[in-house]
Amino acid sequence: MPHLNRRLLMSATAGLGLALSHKVKAQSAPPEQPSPDLSLWYERPADEWVKALPVGNGRLGGMVFGGVAFERIQLNEDTFFAGSPYTPTNPRSRDGLPQVQSLIFEGKYAEAERLANETLISQPAKQMAYQPVGDLILLFPGLDNTSKYVRRLDLSEGVAVTEFNAGSNRHRREVFVSAVDQVMVVRLSSEKGKAITVDLSLSTPQKAEIDTIDGDTLIIKGVSPTQQGIEGKLPFELRAKVIAPTGTLTSREGGVYISGAQDAVVLISAATGYVRYDDISGDPSVLNAGRIAIAAAKGYAALKADHLKDYKALFDRVSLSLGEGPNARLPTDQRIARYGEGKDPGLAALYLQYGRYLLVSSSRGSRQPANLQGIWNDKLNPSWQSKWTLNINTQMNYWPAEMCNLTETIDPLVCLVEDLAETGAKLAKDMYGAPGWVAFNNTDVWRVASPPDGAVWALWPMGGAWLLQNLWEPWLYNGDEAYLRRIYPLMKGASEFYQATLLKDPRSDYMVTNPSNSPENRHPFGSSVCAGPAMDNQLLRDLFAHTAEAAKVLKTDAAFARACLAMRSKLPPEKIGKAGQLQEWQEDWDMQAPDIHHRHVSHLYALHPSDQITVEDTPELAQAARKSLEIRGDDATGWGIGWRINLWARLKDGDHAHDVIKLLLHPRRSYPNLFDAHPPFQIDGNFGGAAGIAEMLIQSHRGRIELLPALPSVWPTGAFKGLKARGGFELDIEWQDRRLTQVVVRSARGGKTQLRWGDRLLPVTVKSGQSVILQADPVKGGGLFGPRT
């Protein structure tokens, strides 16, 4: 074992009361067993979709209701959308754009919005909706009188379990979706005898054919529905194979009947012909048949073992304990209903881990990132088409990815941006006559980049720029130069577009976007359209700076990097309005806007997720951001509350952040299965809330790592392992009575950083693959950082 770094030890103990112990190989110890922080459980079956439990492998998803005599598992496949490839760019957009721009600069906002709706909005205006593929239905005769029922979602294993007694016989049902074998596995078993008798069938809300083949396999085949005049051409197939070696199988049209089995397994696969946004030539039957044949040959034990090994390699990286209150052992729906009592700090820990589970389950192994509902949807016409909204919701889905140690979930988002860079390049040329690429506020599986719905919501050309901020985060956390080379062309293309299309504001001579809006919010002049809203300038400051930095790291495009920084210097600065608030628009309109409590807080992007505003470095702007938050209010939609948790955490106000958590962990904003209630269900609130809880415990920007920066008084004692910090670091922290007792800092690639607790700073150097362990100093006292000297 290497010797201690004597210089660091002397600095730590003399200046901050720290003790430095040995260095060890980097690793995170997984939780030893399921706990209230790692299980959702209930005393009765789900009678609504938002009470069912989600399972998924990133591509294939299911909602398990946990019924006894009647069980339903609702099924989704991540590429199954309505319609087929289409390009809805408005043919009038090239001519209409300069007219709309002129009207905005003249202050004729309502007139500009009317013209934009006619000439700039997509045709058709609505995008295609995400679709359910069908349901597995199981009917169990003779199971009406049961006892000791429980159903649960075991986050530590990624398995949904239903158990109950029928007489003296214990029945158990397990459902998981394997990312290794790309199938859903349903196992039915009983402790005693051959007690499994069940009728299985598939159903679908789609126009499709249902068939039974080989006496044990159910198949549904169809094509996507037509929507908004876009013909449905995407082929899909849902297939289920029944295996019951200890029972008797009888097939019928559209179903399979099992009798007298001690256990049975159902293997489910779903696929479409989707290859990419402009290619639907795949054969879903070939994919499904191959996946099920391989899975059947492996057998249940190997399928589960491989699933656990794959899943736990991701999930077990992080553990979190915030203490166990008297309500911790209640069923999850009761925990939600009673969280406001202040007797269950562990529910916040469960919420963070549930967010991690949902991200692992909805974003890997495909070119499709988590959509508005992850991968779970049972409606033909879900709210907002359950696609990707790019003015906050998709971005929020990935806020926990890096800090919660799930880098692997980012790749589908990179794939989305790579696709949008192609469709967005055509839009940039056709609509603006500009180089590079652009994406507005929504997209679907066909990678539409043009503005949908209407100008009041959609005329915001910054969707791609914000996505690129998400893609920048893995570089900051991991320092992978190969990854940076992959995303740099996307950054350069977006920067080229904005350099070519920003216009000089005649009122200020700053360079601004036009047309644009502050997402979904109206200003006082009967419209939302405007030029150069605060958020656009903040996003562009990040984009231009990040593009220039990437070019420097990659030793390329020096002249272009200088042009990015030059254009960045011409953007409007942040402004503080008469009410002391951070202005949302170039003009001081905030207090005159129709809805000063609007759910979006777009102009606070600079505070979070960006670090342009921090309490330490820009205190005046941080205070203005705080004033804006106070004016907006804490209560909002589910995802709006999620954003506010992160913002209050960045302002280092832990108790206020926790007050907002109480709004989120309430039956108004969390369904019984802990899905976020916008309402209706939107998964971004889950991810935003999980990220906000992590932000309260650790923050990292501008070369420093802040420990417990927004710790609320209701979490006086706790511990976490495996949360990540920018710069390539991973941390374990323990605290008691609000004092740090141990900090472990690991780094796979090595590096230097500063640890900050309150106003105390400690420089730390970690060698590649090793750890630095800092412990409470019993001599100095006062906890880990002890009294100041």
User: Tens digits of per-residue pLDDT, 547-576?
Assistant: 999 999 999 999 999 999 999 999 999 999
Residue spans of the domains in the chain: they are 6-25+707-776, 57-82+134-311, 93-123+382-601
Query: How do residues 366-397 score in pLDDT, each as one tens digit?
Result: 999 999 999 999 999 999 999 999 999 999 99
Q: Which of 417, 487, 473 lies closest to 447 in space, CA to CA? A: 417
d(CA 50, CA 670): 9
Residue environment code for 601-613, b if the CB has 16+ CB neighbours within 10 A, otherwise e: bbbbbbbbbbbbb
Query: How do residues 499-554 score in pLDDT, each as one tens digit?
Result: 999 999 999 989 999 999 999 999 999 999 999 999 999 999 999 999 999 999 99
Count CB atoms within 10 A of the CB of residue 123: 16
Q: Which of 467-471, 621-625, 701-705 has the lowest mean pLDDT?
A: 701-705
d(CA 20, CA 755): 14
Res 780 pLDDT > 60: no
Q: What's the sign of the alpha-carbon dihedral 436, 439, 444, 448? A: negative
Instruction: Work out the mean pLDDT of the chain and round it to a whole number.
Output: 93
Res 139 pLDDT > 60: yes
Longest C-alpha distance within the chain, in Å?
Answer: 83
d(CA 480, CA 475): 6
d(CA 762, CA 753): 8
Residue 680 binned pLDDT confidence (cut-offs 50, 70, 90):
very high
Q: For the residues 450-456, what does the mean pLDDT come to?
A: 94
Query: How do residues 215-248 score in pLDDT, each as one tens digit?
Result: 999 999 999 999 999 999 999 999 999 999 999 9
DSSP letter for each residue of 663-711: HHSSTTTB-TT--BBSSSB-THHHHHHHHHHHHHHEEEETTEEEESTT-
Instruction: Please determine, looking at this structure, whether the domain spanning 57-82+134-311 carries the CATH number 2.70.98.50.
Output: yes
CATH of domain 93-123+382-601: 1.50.10.10
Tell me the C-alpha to C-alpha distance, in Å, between residue 172 and each of 135, 142, 191, 608: 20, 16, 8, 45
What are 255's strand-pairing partners? 201, 252
pLDDT at 19: 43
Q: Do domains 57-82+134-311 and 93-123+382-601 have the same CATH topology?
A: no
Residue 29 binned pLDDT confidence (cut-offs 50, 70, 90):
very low
Asked if 753 and 729 count as a contact pair (C-beta separation under 8 A), the reply is: yes
pLDDT at 759: 83
Cα-Cα-Cα-Cα torsion 314, 315, 319, 321, nearest 10 degrees, comes to 160
d(CA 513, CA 434): 14
Res 589 pLDDT > 60: yes
Res 788 pLDDT > 90: no
Q: For the residues 763-780, what does the mean pLDDT come to?
A: 85
Res 786 pLDDT > 80: no
d(CA 493, CA 435): 8
pLDDT at 540: 98
Which amino acid is residue 404, in one-letter code?
Answer: C
Fold observed for domain 6-25+707-776: Immunoglobulin-like (2.60.40)
pLDDT at 37: 86
pLDDT at 144: 79
Res 86 pLDDT > 90: yes
Tell me the C-alpha to C-alpha distance, in Å, between residue 17 and each of 10, 779, 786: 10, 8, 5
d(CA 783, CA 761): 15
Res 2 pLDDT > 70: no
Res 206 pLDDT > 90: yes
Tokens of residue 689, six digits: 């809330």
Res 5 pLDDT > 80: no
Tokens of residue 758, six digits: 């309150």
Residue 778 binned pLDDT confidence (cut-offs 50, 70, 90):
low
pLDDT at 779: 54
d(CA 289, CA 286): 5
The CA-based angle 451-457-459, given to 5 degrees, is 45
Q: For the residues 23-50, what does the mean pLDDT come to?
A: 69
pLDDT at 777: 65
DSSP letter for each residue of 716-737: -SEEEEEEEETTTEEEEEEEET
d(CA 191, CA 262): 8
Give this prediction's pTM: 0.95
DSSP code for 341: G
Which amino acid is residue 506, in one-letter code?
Answer: P
Asked if 153 and 36 count as a contact pair (C-beta separation under 8 A), the reply is: no
* Element containing residue 501 per DSSP (H, E): helix 481-501
Tokens of residue 533, six digits: 């809203």
d(CA 257, CA 636): 49
**E strand segments, 126-262:** 134-139, 147-154, 159-166, 169-178, 183-190, 196-203, 208-213, 217-223, 235-243, 248-252, 255-261
Asked if 171 and 165 count as a contact pair (C-beta separation under 8 A), the reply is: yes
pLDDT at 13: 30
Q: Which of 15-19, 156-160, 412-416, 762-766 has the lowest mean pLDDT?
A: 15-19
Percent share of the chain, pLDDT over 70: 94
**3-class secondary-structure state, position 269:** strand
